[in-house]
Each structure stands twice: as C-alpha cells, then as structure tokens.
Amino acid sequence: MSLTTQKQLENTLGQCKKALVFVIAFSFVINILVLCLPIYMLQIYDRVISSRSIDTLLLLSMITIFALLTMAVLENIRTRLMVRIGAWFDESLSPDILSGSIALQLRQGLSASVQSLRDIAAIRAFIGGNAIIPALDAPWTPVFLGFVFLLHPILGIIATVGALILFAIAIINDMSTRQAHKKANEASIMAMQQAESAARNADAIEAMGIMPNFIKSWTALNNDSIQGQVTANSKGALLTASSKFIRMLLQISMLGVGAYLVIENEMTAGAMIAGSILMARALAPVEQSISAWGTAISARQSYQRLKEQIPAFPERAKSMPLPKPKGLISVEKVTYFHPGGAEPVLHGINFKLEPGEALGIIGPSGTGKSTLARLMLGNLTPTAGTVRLDNMDVAKWDPDDLGPHCGYLPQDVELFPGTLRQNIARMSEGDPDMVIHAAKLAGCHELILRQPKGYDTVVGERGLGLSGGERQRIALARALYGDPSLIVLDEANANLDGVGEAALQRAIAYLKSRKATIILVGHRPSMMQSMDKLLVLQDAQIRAFGERDEVLKPLLEQSAAIAQKGGQK
C-alpha cells in the first residue's frame, strides 16, 4: 500500500478544506449583499414612490449599485479562488499519482494507465467550475425563505413547498442517473484504453487486417458509453425541464398570490416584488444543483476510483543517498512469480558478479532473461531472495538515487516526446559534452547532426519519424549517458544494422575499459563473444554459469550437432 500517496491525498484534501473557509466567508458576504436588491425594491415601491423623494431615490440607488458592484467583485474573487484551489489540488497530487502509476506497472505487471490523472483533472474541474457554487449557497436557502415568511406567511409557504419540490427533483435526478453515469464512464474508460492500445500497435493492426474486428470491438464499448450518457442525459433533461417549469410556476404563483394579497391590503406592492426576488434567490442553488449534478457525480466517481487505486501503488523506497556503486552484483536465491501466476518465472537464481565484469544472459524465449535483468535494476521485487548492488538490496535503494548510476536498454524501445538532446539526457537538458559523448559511443552522433535541428530536433511520440535501428541507437545513447556503473542491454542488437552493431561493440569495449558492470541479454551465443561470463537460463533455472568459453563451447558444439543432424535428414 502506498501510505505516502494516501496520506498526501488526505493532507491535500485537508488543505483544500482549510482554503474553503475563505470561500465560505466570501459566500457569507455575497449572500448578505443579495438582500440589498429586495430591500431596494421594498423601499422604492413602499416609500420612495409615495413620498416622491428624488434624493432618497438617488441615495438608495447609489447604495444598491455599490452593494451589487461589491457582490460582483466578491463573486469574481470567489470563483478565482476556487479555480486556484482546484489547480493546487492537481499540482499537489499529479506527480505522486503519475509516479504511483508507473511503479504499479513495474512492480505488479498491471497495465499502466493515465486514468488516475484524468480523475485528478475531473476533480480539479469540479472544484474550479461552477458546480460547487450551489453547495456553498444552499445553506442560505432557509434564510431567504425565512425572510419571505416575514413578508407574508402564505408567500413563505409557497416558496418553501417549491423548494421542497425542487429538492425532491434533485434527489430523483441523482437516483435515476447515478448508475447510468457510472456505467457510461466505465465503458468510456475501457474504450479509451482500447483506442490507446490500437495507436501503439497500428502497424500490426493494419498489416494483419485486424482493423475491422478492432473497430467492431471498440464501437461496442463506445456505443455502451454513448448509450449510458444518452440515458443519463435524457433523464436529466426531463428533470431539468420539470424543474424549470416548476420554477416559473412558482414565480407566477408568487406574483399572482402577492397581487391578490396587495388587493386585499394584506401586504404592499414592494413586499410582493421583494418576496419574488427572495424566492428566486432561495431556489437558485437547488435549481443549479440539478444542472450540475452530472459533473458532481463524475467528480465523486473519480474520487472513489482514486481511493481504490492509491492503496495499490507500491511504496517507493526512500533511503539515505549512497555513493556511486562500483558494480558488485549479488543475486541470492532469487525466485520470482508474476502477480497471480502459478508457476515461477525464475527459481533459485544464485550468482555473483565482480565490478567491471560483463555477463551475457542467454536462453530460449520465455525463460525469464528480461525478468532477471529487471530484477537486477530494481524494477521488479523478488518474490523470494535478494538482489544486491554493492551489498545494498536494490529493492530498498531509492530509485531516484540509484537510477543515474544505471543504464538500461529495454527490448521495446520507445523515445519520449521532446528533443533528441532531452531523450539522451534522460529528459533533462543535460550537459552538452556528456550528451555528445554518449551519442558518439552509441554511433548516432552523425545521425543526429543530419536531423533538421540537430540535437534540438523534436521527435514525435514514441520516436515516430525515426527507424527502429535509429531509435535503438538513441536509446543506447540514453543508457550510456552519465557513464553508469551498471548497464543492462536487453536484446540490444535487435534492430541494428552492421553499423549499429559495430557501434554497440565499441560501446561495450568502452564500458569494459571503465570497469562498468555489463549485463547483455540475448538468445544467440554468437553475440556473446565480448562477455567475460555467461549465464544460461532454461525452465526458470540456471542451466550453466561460468567463464564465457567454458559455457559457450558446449552450447556451440550442441548447436553444430543439431545442425549436422538436420542436414543429414
């Protein structure tokens, strides 16, 4: 459980509540100033007209205009303050939410999703929008109704009954649309995730003719979302129209009954107008809440999803900064299961590497080579056993502290939106000399110089616009940036041509000259000639481990025998 992020959410909400005290104070003054208009009407109709006093009219008008201007200024300040609170809520939580989402992908193998960030944005929009204003003004509804009762009990009864009817409509609106909104949001999230998956796998979808089936699957989800929204909005539209009808009916009733009471000399014309204004203000929060109910439901669902998601975020290790590691790797009886998996991916893995040694990990596909590499980097936590770097458990090493000392070239290479310089410098501006040094080691310096703006060329999402080999060389430069002590290369030559492979071999030679510890993952023995030691994985266990030639010789002999046997057939 991510206690840090959970506590951060609670603390942020606590700070928001404290800030809301000022908003409530502004709302108090605003609603007091609202009374100026009915009082003005009461005085105009009952005193000014009968006295024919121009001076009184001017004075009352000036006071009322000043009060209304003050109210407008305060409403502007209140709205701006709500926007700032919403923005602060987002800014305070989004970094931890993004970090938690990434950690969830790494540690538990769950699909990375930006839905939590969308939920934060939805809550921010709710706080900073107009949907929360009715809730701030609603406590004043009984106060305004009380003033209507003071003008005349019958008018007070009409206004109170109207408020109760509108409140009942608001409750019915919530009960009738909540499930529809929830189902629509869930379907929308699934449709968006499927669309994002399609964008990542566009080549495969197009090449294998998957598009019609994919569109059919996505359309079903999207239609569920649309239908849910249509159902919820249709019900909401009916109730909104009903509330407007009742609102206008109440206005007519107030004026009609008020006129009758004026005719019967039970109240003045000014009281009739003032009562109509007060009722309108009393009912406004209830009526507005019906229109804003959909936004409130979405924000509530977003908050519930956050509360459910945050406990699943793995706790990021925080420890005292340690010196740059020398590269001593110790893997001690490591076993790893995928979350929910019944069979171990790795079982009883045990070996040691001295600083500066180069290890090649080979074996058939699906034997856990990449998993072992990720365990050594601390991206995964062993189910049992320990992986140590310079005698420190990498699972307990702060990733922000350890990361700069490690280089990693994953199987699936992706570049980030930004400049080539930023990609190599790990999304910082980076020291120009270090960036160029890493690019030259990876054999992509000349390639970058040929780009429209050199190192300042902006690459598209995932490095679109560059070939697979070009992306891999730039990712290799990123792994080499900063002269790391430990570097892991997973299928590093998968997309490289002859020039790229030569650059890779030069980079490995440079790393060995610096006494960096190198882990090279592959499945072809031929690419392991520059390694000091080899580790062969098979059936989740170590089949062989030792000096390169000792391990490689029987493997090559076995491969040759299989090839010869196949040729004889």
pLDDT tens-digit readout, 130-185: 778 888 888 898 999 999 999 999 999 999 998 888 888 878 877 777 777 778 77
In DSSP terms, which residues pair with 519 in a beta bridge?
Answer: 359, 488
60: its two tokens: 């009352």
What is the H or E stretch that residue 332 is in?
A: strand 329-336
Residues 387 and 278: their CA atoms lie apart, in Å, by 72
What is the reported pLDDT for 526?
60
| Contact predicate 509/358, CB 8 Å | no
- 């310089």: which residue's tokens? 421
Indicate the pTM of the whole model: 0.69
457: its two tokens: 């060329």
Residues 210 and 352: their CA atoms lie apart, in Å, by 46
- Parallel, antiparallel, or unpaired: how do β-strands 392-393 and 458-459 relate? unpaired
> What are the angstrom distances between the C-alpha of 387 and each of 204, 366, 404?
37, 21, 18
Residues counted in the chain:
569
The string of DSSP codes covering 380-419 is S--SEEEEEETTEEGGGS-HHHHGGGEEEE-SS--PPSEE
What is the reported pLDDT for 318?
67
| Contact predicate 27/137, CB 8 Å | yes
φ/ψ (deg, to 5) at 13: -65, -40
What is the reported pLDDT for 112?
45
Residues 176 and 232: their CA atoms lie apart, in Å, by 8
- CA quadruple 147, 151, 152, 155: dihedral, nearest 10: -60
138: its two tokens: 């609603």
Domains and CATH numbers, the chain: 1-131 (no CATH), 136-291 (1.20.1560.10), 329-568 (3.40.50.300)
> Which parts of the chain register pLDDT below 70?
1-6, 105-114, 196, 199-210, 291, 294, 312, 314-319, 460-464, 495, 524-526, 556-569
What is the reported pLDDT for 347?
92
| Contact predicate 535/516, CB 8 Å | no
The string of DSSP codes covering 198-262 is HHHTHHHHHHTT-HHHHHHHHHHHHHHHHHHHHHHHHHHHHHHHHHHHHHHHHHHHHHHHHHHHH
Residues 316 and 348: their CA atoms lie apart, in Å, by 26
Name residue 441's amino acid.
Answer: L
Let me know if 492 is exposed, middle or buried by CB neighbors in 10 A (0-12, 13-18, 19+).
Answer: buried
| Contact predicate 112/104, CB 8 Å | yes
Residues 155 and 276: their CA atoms lie apart, in Å, by 9
In DSSP terms, which residues pair with 331 in a beta bridge?
Answer: 351, 387
Kindly report the number of other CB atoms within 10 A of residue 546's CB atom: 13
Residues 272 and 41: their CA atoms lie apart, in Å, by 9
